Amino acid sequence: MAKTPDVVAKEILAKLAKTAPGFSLEVGTPERKIVDAVSEAISEAYIDQYLVGSLMDIESKAGLELEQWCGIFGFGRMQGRRATGTVRIELKNSNSQDVTVQNNSPFYTRNSLPSSGNQTYFKATQAVIIPAGSYVADVPVECTAVGAIGNVPPDSIVFIGDILGATSATNLQSFTGGVDVETDDELRQRFKDTFLRNVAGTEDFYLGLCYQNKNVSKAACFGPIRQYATQVEAVLDVNSYTLTKTGTPTAGNFTLSYAGQTTANIAWNATASAVQTALGLLTNIGSTAGNVTVTAITNGFTIVINNLISTLTVASGTLTGGAVTVTRNGLNSISYVDNDVKYAWPGDGHVNVFKNLGQSTEKFYRNGIDFRWTPGATPTFVALPGGDIKAGDIVDVEFEYTTQSSRNDPLKGITNKVDLFVNGSVPYAITERTVITSTSVLSSTVTDQLYTGNFTRVGPSTGSPTANNRFMRLGSTPVVSFPSSLVVGTGSGAQVYTQGTHYHLLRLAPETQDPPNATTLMAGSIYEVVGIEWESTGPNSGTELTVTYNYNRVPEVLQAVIKTGKQVTTDVLVHQASYAYLRLYLAIEYNRGFAVSQVDNQIQDRLRTYFAGLPYGSWIEISDLILAVHQVLGVDNVNLVLSDGISPAHGVKVYATGVDGESPIATYDTDFKLNDNQLPVFLDAVIRRKANR
């Protein structure tokens, strides 16, 4: 804060009065004139510093001033994104000539669309031809309005403009990518995240390249190391074991070993007290109360040793009719999501454990003294007896890990991969001509690239493909939509094949594997293995086939851009974001005097906006969802419908593709986390009205 010359002079005089009391500092003396001159200079410097600081402080700027300030560094406010997707058009009959759906052809929603009482308009972004003999085509479409309003659920776009012979249109999947105009807070954060990003190979560098694409509003970058932050309730680590007698022992003895010492013979039918006494006689355990506790359980004992110098084992056993085994009980595992963590890095520099960060009671703990950290594929954290972490303490644990969404595999020495995930979508229609062969078939061999477990069916039929069915790979990926029927031949010899009966669209399914393999980790990229599974009722091998389908061009375009700017030894791959499509089941009590239908529309709109703002890998917390709905005017009370064990209509249901009629892949009544490379897409909320009290 700036200071006046008088204030500065008083501070100097007060200091000199203590350090140089012999100075004459009366007004008019040379010494006083020097003090006054210095005070003037210091005051001006304070003012300059204050002005410069305020001018360069991004936190003090808002609105137009913030835009102008960011513009100095080449940043501008993102003006939102239009939602994109595809609309399927069906003709009344199989056409005898080509039918063209013109670019900019209009489409619009029904009036009863959730979250809006008005129709939302869309337009085709590319001309599409429905070939002669066919009656269906998928048209790339974008919303005419910017923002989340265009993120409509399946089966919302049902009206079309003047397209010759068309009888129906609908979007089979949710539209995505619609983002509202960037807020001041979002602009500030993006500036901080991407400013000075011109250091090649850094996360900011790659994210900056992604955000230069007008269709990308959210991107995530995964290298070999990321940081995982969580909290755990500490439980003291003790040597806890379960001794189990198997079979039906009738005679004999056994001995136990700990830290190089072995007990005397223990009878097959010894009591818990006898086993405890035998262990207490070992000098590295001792018989002091609490050093060892043995409790009888069915077919054995629970043994707790209150030191950590070794592991209890069975030294020998000669039981008649049975045997003795000892297993160590599970430790206090760290709270983490195994869908995220492929590998936790070893070494003290890769883990931090602390409590009350930033407070006067802040405390950092030491690995091997206060806690033990076990890295690897299943990281564990345990508090050690005698350390400063007490049982029941809530501590923060931060560790560095390799995510399951990454192609890196530290255990195999692979650490040069960078995976980028982007939410942009530009559906583009492409026509391919190919020949169906019998040499490319799906396999039941796990190591085969065409292993059936790598894929899942998309569309009318779901589940895994069938081994030995023919596979026809598509050349442009990731696929956005594929026709529901294919016509082979012309004229009277034309044969129509139907999706779900004669063929199935297959996509990679990394979410079904733990961990994903090298093939499925290519999902969403230009190298993704996507294709058609032909049943035996499909065309004969050797048949020529022409197919037109839509794929997302954003990964392809960004891959070409990044290839020219990446480091030579770095393998960078751009993926389409993985999406989790969500449907909520809510119980609502309404305030009196409000129109229920209008409140319901506002609830849908509020949730759509809420989910559109969540980042990659978000926790979906039920309390946050309830709070978002409770903020809607007219809502008096809200609850998530919980399972009653009978009705399936409860909780938050997660879908893989968002196609209308699809079965959920998971249902949650409690908080859950998305994968690191996943973004949530809100389908709708199914609302059950409850009587207001």
Q: Give residue limits of the domains in the chain.
A: 5-56, 84-170, 239-328, 335-405, 427-552, 578-690
What pTM, to 2 d.p., does this model score? Answer: 0.75
Average confidence (pLDDT) over 65-87 = 85
Contact 184, 191 (CB under 8 A): no
Highest mean pLDDT among 76-85, 262-271, 331-340: 262-271
Q: Which of 165, 171, 173, 181 is CA-nearest to residue 108?
A: 171
What single DSSP character describes residue 10?
Answer: H
- Give the CA dihedral 121, 125, 131, 134, nearest 10 degrees: -40
CA distances from 261 to 257, 270, 272 (A): 6, 20, 20
Distance CA 578, CA 478 (A): 11
What are the pLDDT digits (tens) for 118-140? Answer: 788 899 888 888 777 777 888 89
Q: Determine the distance from the C-alpha atom of residue 411 to the mean position of all C-alpha atoms in its chain, rounded to a whole number.
A: 23
What confidence tens digit (pLDDT) does each residue in 266-322 have?
999 999 999 999 999 998 888 787 788 899 998 899 998 877 667 788 888 888 888
- Which residues, including other chains, have CB under 8 Å from residue 261's CB and lie 6 or more apart? 282, 283, 284
Confidence band of 579 (pLDDT split at 50, 70, 90): very high
Grade residue 596 by pLDDT with cuts at 50, 70 and 90.
Answer: very high
Q: For 498-542, what is each residue's pLDDT tens digit?
A: 998 999 999 988 766 667 888 889 999 999 999 999 999 999 998
Q: Quick one: pLDDT at residue 11? A: 86
Please state the length of the chain: 693
pLDDT at 512: 66
Share the mean pLDDT of the chain: 86
* pLDDT score of 664 more than 80: yes
Q: What is the pLDDT of residues 352-376, one digit of tens each?
A: 999 998 888 899 999 988 888 888 8
Pair of tokens at residue 191: 């500036």
- Residue 333 is predicted with a pLDDT of 52
If one counts every other C-beta atom within 10 angstroms of the C-beta of residue 290, the result is 8
The per-residue pLDDT for 514 is: 67
**Cα–Cα distance for residue pair 50/44, rounded to 1 Å:** 10
pLDDT at residue 68 above 90?
no
Spacing of C-alpha 62 from chain mean position: 31
Token duo for residue 63: 């609105």
Q: What is the 3-state secondary structure (H, E, C) of 639-676?
A: EECCCCCCCCCCCEEEECCCCCCCCCCEEECCCEECCC
pLDDT band at 334 (very low <50, low <70, confident <90, very high): low
Span 79-100, average pLDDT: 80
Distances (CA, A) of 363 to 350, 550, 598: 18, 55, 51
Q: What sign does the dihedral 658-661-662-666 (CA atoms) show?
A: positive
Residue 192 has what pLDDT? Answer: 78
Dist CA 222 CA 343 (whole Å): 13
In this prediction, residue 198 carries a pLDDT of 56
Q: Which residue has the higher pLDDT, 117 or 55?
A: 55
Q: Is 234 a residue whose pLDDT tops 80?
A: yes
Task: Write out pLDDT tens, residues 614-652.
Answer: 999 999 999 999 999 999 999 999 999 998 888 889 999
- Tokens for 46, please give them: 């304070």
Q: What is the DSSP letter of 453?
A: G
pLDDT at 113 over 60: no
Checking if the pLDDT of 330 tops 70, the result is no
pLDDT (tens digit per residue) in 136-189: 888 899 999 888 888 888 888 877 766 555 567 888 888 888 888 888 888 888
Please say if the pLDDT value at position 338 is more than 80. Answer: no
Residue 4 in tokens:
């006046």
What is the full DSSP assignment across 252-315?
A: -EEEEEETTEEPPPEETT--HHHHHHHHHTSTTT-SSTTSEEEEEETTEEEEEES--SS--EEE
* Listed ranges 26-35, 467-476, 490-499; the one with the highest mean pLDDT: 467-476
Residue 693 has pLDDT above 80, yes or no: no
Q: What is the pLDDT of residue 391?
A: 77
Give the whole-number percent of the chain exceeding pLDDT 90. Answer: 36
Distance between CA 544 and CA 471 in Å, rounded? Answer: 14
